[in-house]
Chain A
Amino acid sequence: MCTATDNDYEESVQCMEEKPSHNLVGALCKKCGNNKAEVVLRVKDTYCRQCFIDSFTHKFRATLGKSKMLKPNDKIILAVSGSPSSLAMLQLVKDGIEITTPKRLQCIPCIVYVDEGAVLGHTYEQRQEICISMAKITKKYGIPGFITSLDRCLDISSSHSKLCEELHESMVWHVNEERELRLQSLFAQLKSLSSKEDLLLKLRHKLLFSVAEELDCSKIFVGDCATDLAVSIMANLSLGRGAQLPYDVGFCDYRHGKTKLLRPMRDFMKKEIAFYMVFKNIGSVSYPTLSSKVDPFSSIQRLTEKFITELQKDFPSTVSTIFRTGDKLTSEGTRNVECKTCLLCEAPLDTSKQDSSSMQATEFSQLISSPMFADVKDLLTHSSSDLHSNAVSSMGDSNCCTSNYQCTCISQNQLQKLDFEQIKENLCYGCRLIVKEMDSLDFLPGDITSSVKTEIMQKQLRKEIQDFLL
Chain B
Amino acid sequence: MSTSEGLLRITLEFRGGAELLFDNVKKHNVKLPLIDKTWTLRNLLLWIKENLLKERPELFVQGDSVRPGILVLVNEADWELLGGNDYVLKEGDTVLFISTLHGG
Contacts and interface: CB of A to CB of B under 8 A. Distances in A.
Q: Are chains A and B touching in the complex at the 8 Å CB cutoff?
A: yes
Interface of A: 24-27, 37-40, 46, 84, 227, 270-271, 273-275, 278-279, 284, 286, 288-294, 301-302, 305-306, 309-310, 312-313
Q: What is the interface residue range for chain B against chain A?
A: 20 to 34
A291 B71 CA distance: 19
A284 B15 contact: yes
Considering the complex of A and B, which 9 residue pairs feature the smallest CB-CB distances, nearest first? A291-B103, A270-B100, A292-B103, A309-B69, A289-B103, A313-B68, A38-B77, A39-B78, A40-B80
Contacts, number: 82
A291 B102 contact: yes
A306 B68 CA distance: 8
Nearest to B87: A25
A82 to B, nearest CB: 11
Contacts of A37: 77-78, 81
17 contacts: A38-B78, A46-B81, A227-B100, A270-B69, A270-B100, A274-B98, A275-B78, A279-B76, A284-B16, A286-B15, A286-B16, A288-B103, A291-B102, A292-B17, A305-B69, A306-B69, A309-B69
A278 B73 contact: yes
A271 B77 contact: no
Interface string B25-56: 00000000000000000000000000000011
Nearest to B67: A309
Contacts of A27: 81
B39 to A, nearest CB: 18
B21 A38 contact: no
A306 B67 CA distance: 9
B103 A39 contact: no
B20 interface: yes
Contact of B101 (A40, A275, A288, A305): A305
Interface of B: 15-17, 19-21, 55-56, 59, 68-69, 71, 73, 76-78, 80-83, 96, 98, 100-104
B100 A301 contact: no
A309 B68 contact: yes
B30 to A, nearest CB: 20
A292 B20 contact: yes
Nearest to B102: A291
B68 A271 contact: no
A310 B101 CA distance: 11
Nearest to B78: A39
Contacts of B104: 286, 288-289, 292-293
Given A24-B81, A38-B77, A313-B68, 12 more contacts: A25-B83, A37-B78, A284-B15, A284-B16, A288-B103, A292-B104, A293-B59, A293-B104, A305-B69, A305-B101, A309-B68, A309-B69
A263 B30 CA distance: 41
Contacts of A39: 77-78, 81
A274 B19 CA distance: 15
Nearest to A197: B102
Nearest to A49: B76
A418 to B, nearest CB: 33
Contacts of A284: 15-16
A410 to B, nearest CB: 41
Contact of A24 (B55, B69, B80): B80
B17 A278 contact: no
Contacts of A46: 81
Given A84-B16, A271-B100, A293 B21 contact: yes
Residue among B76, B81, B82 with the most chain A CB within 10 A?
Answer: B81
A306 B62 CA distance: 12
Given A291-B103, A305-B69, A312-B68, A40 B16 contact: no
Given A84-B16, A274-B16, A284-B16, A294 B78 contact: no
A208 to B, nearest CB: 19
B68 A310 contact: yes
A305 B102 contact: yes
A309 B16 contact: no
B103 A290 contact: yes
A209 B83 CA distance: 47
Nearest to B56: A293
Contacts of A288: 20, 103-104
A2 B80 CA distance: 38
